Structure 1
Amino acid sequence: MLTIHAADELRLRWDTEPVRDGAVAVRGDRVVGAGPLSELRERFPEARLRRWPGVLGPALVHEGPLPQAPSPRERLHAVLKSGSTAVLERYTDTAELRAAAVRNEIAVLPRVRESVIVDTGRADLAVFDTDGACVATVCAGRLVHRRR
């Protein structure tokens, strides 16, 4: 299914100027377009639209130890709720954590990498409100967290 995620602002990288009323089009687990919402609606008129308040950008890499929780799944869900869709390998030090990461399509990285939205790249997105709280997280094209 084709989905357009739109927000007040879009940042393709967190250190770039925002695109006002920006959006990212996602098909499956891949980005198929990014830019002004009006352009993406024209390119993909059949797409479902999800509109978010705040700033839409690339999902983050969780750089420290995973939050404590009763189960590996809950530890990784806490990471997703923070707007991160990747963790560092050194913090997934049990078979259970690694298996939970694979099941949830959370990227396990040997080192920190730049977070960026690119055409044909994996659709890992996060939306943050003006206070910096995560509103929504998309991991490999799936909406995995939405603040109510």
Structure 2
Amino acid sequence: MPTIHMAEASPHMAVAVDGQHVLAVGPYEELLAAHPQSRVRTWPGILTQALLNPHGPELLEQAYHPDPREADEFGTEPVTDLSLVEDLDEARWGASARRGLQRMLAHGTVALAGDLTRPVVVEAVQRSGLTRWIREEQPEGLPSLDPFATGGTVVRPLPISPGHHARFAIFDVRDERELAERGAGTCVATVLDGRLLYRRR
């Protein structure tokens, strides 16, 4: 059964998803009329292309993502001074990478760029479904989970069009200008290959 995703501030940009792929894109009312048996998911804000984070190695192999139980010691942001983290073995690197990837999804990210060298990190990325992109040069700006906060160019690598993999995000903002101002922390949902992998609670 197809699913129609519609964001309240952009009803002209509803997306019908069937399995892993985009079935149709267009005004919500037209999609519903064409696919009346669809399940409907209504979101606040706007539906738009998902994001690419250009700082894959910096965020997943050069920073530690604390477990929520470690918040008193490390806080909730990525720890870049790795000397503060004791016993950082491969198991903890893998767990850190998985948490980092979930936090990327929570910022509307479905792709990352840069060479990864730690096998446990590579495995975590492969299992997550995020797409890996080749990075020709060092990206602009500072590494951040929010691509809008890096100071560099924000890249949206994947089109939303029929036949393509269904990869998009919904942000609780009124328009693209507000999204650029407030950043990807406004993400309420991220869809990757048709699966709802992040939903704000």
Per the shorter chain, which TM-score range?
Answer: 0.7 to 0.9
Question: What is the 5 A alignment of 1:17-32?
Answer: 20-32=11-23
On the 8 A contact 1:31/1:121 being kept in 2, the answer is: yes
1:54 corresponds to 2:45: yes
TM-superposition CA deviations, 1:77-122 (whole Å, max 9, x none): 11101100001132x3321122112212111111466332111111
Unaligned runs of 5+ in 2: 67-94, 136-154, 174-181
State the Cα distance separating 1:74 from its structure 2 match: 0.8
Whole-Å separation in 2 of the counterparts to 1:113 and 1:52: 20
Aligned counterpart in structure 2 of residue 109 of structure 1, from 116, 133, 138: 133
- Quick one: which of 36, 47, 56 aligns to 2:27? 36
Match of 1:137 among 176, 181, 190: 190
Question: Are 2:50 and 2:156, in contact at CA under 8 Å, matched by a contact in 1?
Answer: no
Aligned residue number for residue 140 of structure 2: none
Instruction: Give the TM-score of the pair, scaled to structure 2.
Output: 0.63
Q: Which residue of 2 aligns with 1:78?
A: 103
Richer in helix (by share)? 2
User: Matched residues in 1 for 2:170 and 2:117: separation?
Assistant: 29
1:7 match:
7
Larger radius of gyration: 2
Q: How many residues align?
A: 138
